[in-house]
Structure formats: structure tokens, C-alpha cells
Structure 1
Amino acid sequence: MLQLDGIDKTDDRPPYRQIAAVLRAAIESHQFAAGERLPSEADLIEHFGVARMTVRQAVQELRGEGLVVSEHGRGVFVQARPPIRRLASDRFARRHRDEGKAAFSVEAEKSGYSPRVDSITVRRQKPGSVVAERLRVPVSDDVVVRSRRYLADGQPIETAVSYIPVAFAAGTAIEQTDTGPGGIYARLEESGHVLARFTEEVGARMPTPDERRVLNIGLGVPVLTVLRTAYDVNDVAVEVCDTVKVAPSYLLEYEFSAR
């Protein structure tokens, strides 16, 4: 018999969220250790006295939080590896570009994950007012827009949309699906825009329905938003990047002077 709390009928939360909370507490208290398989779907249905879909919704919520992973034909296992650590002071270091690696690949590999990028689209369009202000371009000007999704071990964890002035991207690999080794920033530097600094605005919110679908996250799981602007040595804004990250999949680390 499972040593887990049951559903409280006086609780206002839906049953699947109660089940998710019970399993989450068991994982956090190490009742289920990292790498250990959770009770089977049939066992959970019997223990909680709920329908199969209710159990699946609960597991989906935990999967969206990055606490568990599903392995086809084997079951659901407690995630054994930590979130990706995003170290702001190192992620855009030129040495990574010189090695032909983009920031996400470096961070994911350091955390023990296999990185992948998919859903890449490239187009030209008019910028919104926020992007135009940061790029210091008129809203009537076209910009190159690059959208993509990032995955760690096949699990979607982030979407990103970059906006680059056409003057800096036209005729370069930035307008191609594959930007080549080192990514967008390597191509910008090759064209003379040597990067000097970045600014970032970090926020947190609940995801939109489309974001939940694209990132495969459950109900109640928040996302982090990071709006970054890149500047070259002449203090020209060369890119704005709008990212949405599955909050439990990341640790954001910043280093700054106390002076």
C-alpha cells in the first residue's frame, strides 16, 4: 500500500492538483529519490480513487515543473539532474563564440544536458514599440526576427525571439535558419559590431495557453521572462532578445560589484 496522503474532499483544489501536491511533497522530502520510479498509473488510480485522466493531469503538472520525466514503456521517474544554471557573467563570453558555441549550448552541457534547438523561423517585420525603442529604430523600419525553441534532453524549456536591425543582418547568415558556429553574436562581430555590454529585464508570470502548449508545461507552472538588449563597442543596440523560460528548469545567477 502506498504511504501517501489521500485526497481531501474539503479542499477547494481540483483532485489532480492535490495529487500533484502529494507527489511533489514526497519528492521534496526524498520519499522518492532522484532517479526513482514513481508508483505506476494503476497504483495511483487505486490509491487516490480517481480516473486515469486525473492521474495523468497530476503527472503532467510535475513534468512541466521539471520534477519528473516520462520514459516510454518504463514509467515516470524523479528528475535526477539539477536545473540549468544560467550564469550571466559568463554566458556571453567571447571565448564561447570563438569555440563555435552559443550560450544555451554551453549552459546546458555544463548542467549535464544534451541541448537542441528547433522550431526556427526567420522573417522580416515591423517592430513593436518596445523593441523599436530599445533598438533605437523607427517603428516603420523592418527588423529581422528569429524565433526558436530550446530543448534540454528533448524537453522544451525556453522560447526566444531575437530582433536585429535589417542593416546589420541583411546578406548575412543571421537571415538563414542556420546562423553557423557561435550563433547570431558571432555573425554580428564578424560584420564589425564587436559586443561590449548587455542589459536584461527579468520578470515572472503565468504562461499564456500558447506558451503552455509550445513548452509542454502543466497548469500552475510559472515562466520567467528575460528581455535582453545587446550593445556593441560604439553603444549601438544590435539585438533585442525576448525569452520565455520554464521557471523550474532554470537558476539565474548574476554577479555584480558592490562599489
Structure 2
Amino acid sequence: MTSSPSALLGALDPTSDRAVFRQIADHLREAIDKGRFTEGAKLPSEAELVEHYGVSRMTVRNAISILQGEGLVHAEHGKGVYVRPRPPVRRLASDRFARRHREQGKSAFTVEAEAAGSRPEVDQLEVREERPSQDIAARLGGARKVLVRRRRYLLDGRPVEFASSHLPLDLARNTPIAQPNPGPGGIYARLEKLGHRLERFEEEVRARMPAPAEVKTLRLAAGVPVIHLIRTAYDTEGRAVEVCDTVMAADAYVLAYQLPAE
């Protein structure tokens, strides 16, 4: 049972020049942000909101549509409108690629999942040889052919990111990296075993709205943006040995970085 709207929501301001449906959306958003409606909670019904605000059903639906577009709520046909869960995963940027994790046989995603107390899974795995895009080729020092590893990552059954690793073909062909399961510690552990000791990673991060295929792959709700991260791994000889192009559901991640002050 949901509480009465009058106990959780404010009243309309008749002197405001802000449209009524936007005021209602503001009230509902504030109630969600302040925890009056928690994750998974059902919002008041259309009938309850109509009665509380003294407006038409269309006005209420327009307000709900705004929240759906922001990714805050989702509608279940015949049941109602619910606050969307937003489980954060804290990415430990200064730690997740630490060598000690690889030596323990853990990939970066496994480290992240354990830190979040979640169950990691990988599916939609594809390994193939390709000609790289101009951008990937440039990042890899002019590589003409690459081995690409594409995969989707899930936490507790929920898709949270899709990644494509691009490695120079002369480096990865006929090695465990070309196998579906490269072994403990993932491809970075295999690279180091092949003599390419990793020295540093460079990451570029930006936020954007998802493409239709990304919405489908990550099962994104309307209005949820993605984090687009491109990481380049370098060995101690200064060679770029991998470029990883990753698209993440923005509502599932908190990017946490430690930056030195000197």
C-alpha cells in the first residue's frame, strides 16, 4: 500500500508560470530524491494523483512521462508506475587493474563485482579477427588487423556494460587470448605472460545518450544515458597492446578516482 499523496507530495502553485504537469513531475521527483518513494516503490495511482491535484488524467500522464524520460520510473502494464532501482557499482580506477588482482586470477570486472557485493556474469562473447576502425588503428600505432573480443557484462543478472577489446593481431593470434576463455586474470594476465608487462592505462570518458542497439543490449530504460569509456593499455616498451571500447549503463556506475595532489 502506498501512502496518501497528500502526506508525500506538495500542492500546486497557482501563481507559478511553470506548467502544471511539470510542477507535478517536480513534486514526484523531489519525493523520490528524498526517499519518500524508495527504489521499487509504487507511485500513487493516476486516480489518486488526479484527486490530489484536481487535474485531468492527461496532465498526470504528462508528468509521469517526464519521469520516465529521465529514467526515474518505469510503468508495468496493469500494475502501476514504480521507482526504478539504481544499483551503483563503484569503479576503483586506481585499483581495479592492479597486478595483484591478476596474480590472484581475477579480472577487473570480478574485482568491481566483489567490491559491490554482486554476482558477475559474462555473455554474448565473440572473438574474431577484423580490420580496425581508423581511430582504433591509430591508438594501436597503425595496426592493420586486430583480434577483437566482444562481451556483455552482467551483475546479478542485469546487463551493465558491453566491451570490445582490440589487440594487435601479431600479438594475440594463436595465443590463449584468442580463446573464448583466456584463463585466470583475463587478457591482461595473458599479455604479461607473453612478455608484455603492463606499465600504464589511459582512459577517456564521456557521457552521451545511447544508440538503439545499446538500449537493447543493456536493456536501458527511456532517458538513461551511457558512459562511453575508451581505455588504452601500454606495456613497459611504450607499445599500445590493447584498446578497450566500453559502453556502460550510467545508472549502474559511480566512477571513483584518486588523483595525486603533486
Counterparts in 2 of 1:229 and 1:56: CA distance versus 1, 3 Å:
same
Alignment of 1:101 with 2:106, yes or no, is yes
Tell me whether 1:194 sits opposite 2:206 in the alignment. Answer: no
Distance 1:76 1:181, change over 3 A: farther
Alpha carbons of 1:38 and 1:255: their partners in 2 closer, same or farther (altered >3 Å)? Answer: same
For 1:62-91, what per-residue CA distance to the aligned partner results, in whole angstroms no more than 9, with x for missing partners? 7x56x7899xx9x95663x75111111101
Q: How does 1:140-159 map to 2 (within 5 A)?
A: 141-159=144-162
2:255 — aligned with what?
A: 252
Superposed displacement of residue 59, structure 1: 8.0
108-117 or 194-203, larger mean C-alpha shift: 108-117
Q: Deviations over 1:166-204 (max 9, x none)?
A: 112111222122222211111111111111101111111
Report the secondary structure of 1:109's partner residue. helix
Deviation of the 1:247 alpha carbon: 1.5
Alpha carbons 1:69, 1:78 under 8 Å: kept: no
Partner-residue secondary structure (3-state), 1:113: coil
Q: Is 1:124 matched with 2:129?
A: yes
Change (3 A) 1:36 1:205: closer
Q: How does 1:46-85 map to 2 (within 5 A)?
A: 47=49, 49=57, 76=82, 79=85, 82-85=87-90
In the TM superposition, residue 6 of structure 1 has moved relative to its aligned partner by 9.6
TM-score (norm 1): 0.79
Paired residues of 1:32 and 1:78 also in contact (CA < 8 A)? no
Q: Are the structure 2 counterparts of residues 39 and 162 from structure 1 closer, same or farther at C-alpha, using a change threshold of 3 Å? A: same
Instruction: List per-residue Cα deviations over 1:24-82 (Å, max 9, x = no partner).
Output: 4322111123x563248xx34664636xx9999778657x56x7899xx9x95663x75
Q: 1:88 aligns with which of 81, 88, 93?
A: 93
Contact 1:144/1:164, CA 8 A, preserved across alignment: yes
Higher Cα Rg, which structure: 2
Gaps of 5+ in 1: none
Of 179, 182, 190 in structure 2, the residue corresponding to residue 179 of structure 1 is 182
Would you say the 8 A contact 2:145–2:169 is kept in 1?
A: yes
Partner of 1:37: 41
- Structure 2: which 5+ residue stretches go unaligned? 51-56
Cα distance change, pair 131–226 in 1 and its aligned pair in 2 (3 A) = same
Equivalent pair of 1:60/1:217 in contact (CA under 8 Å): no
Count of residue pairs brought into register by the alignment:
246
Q: What is the TM-score normalised by the length of structure 2?
A: 0.78
The aligned counterpart of 1:28 is 33
Question: In the aligned structure 2, how far is the partner of 1:252 from the partner of 1:88?
Answer: 7
Moved more, 171-180 or 237-246: 171-180
Q: What is the CA distance between 1:254 and its match in structure 2?
A: 1.9
Equivalent position amino acid for 2:246 in 1: T
User: Given that residues 6 and 47 in structure 1 are in contact (C-alpha distance below 8 angstroms), is that contact kept between their aligned partners in structure 2?
Assistant: no
Q: Distance in 1 between matches of 2:254 and 2:234?
A: 25
